[in-house]
Amino acid sequence: MEGWYVWNSAYLVWCPLTNRFSLSLTSLLSEIRFSVNAHMMQFRLFMACFLVYAQAL
């Protein structure tokens, strides 16, 4: 019975921790994806401007 109690309390502590960790991980991943997308858009804009400038020369 003692082992069951220890396992149950460990489970009660473990679940919220893993939930919080997975939530923060997914938010971090989406943040990284968003920043990469923004960076790629800036890079594409820069490349387009560079191509237009190169053609204008």
Residue 45's identity, in one-letter code, is L
How many whole angstroms separate alpha carbon 18 and alpha carbon 29?
Answer: 16
d(CA 57, CA 50): 11
pLDDT at site 4: 66
What residue ranges do the domains of the chain occupy? 1-57
What is the residue-level pLDDT of the chain in tens, covering all 57 positions?
566 667 777 777 777 777 777 778 888 888 888 888 888 888 899 999 999 998 887
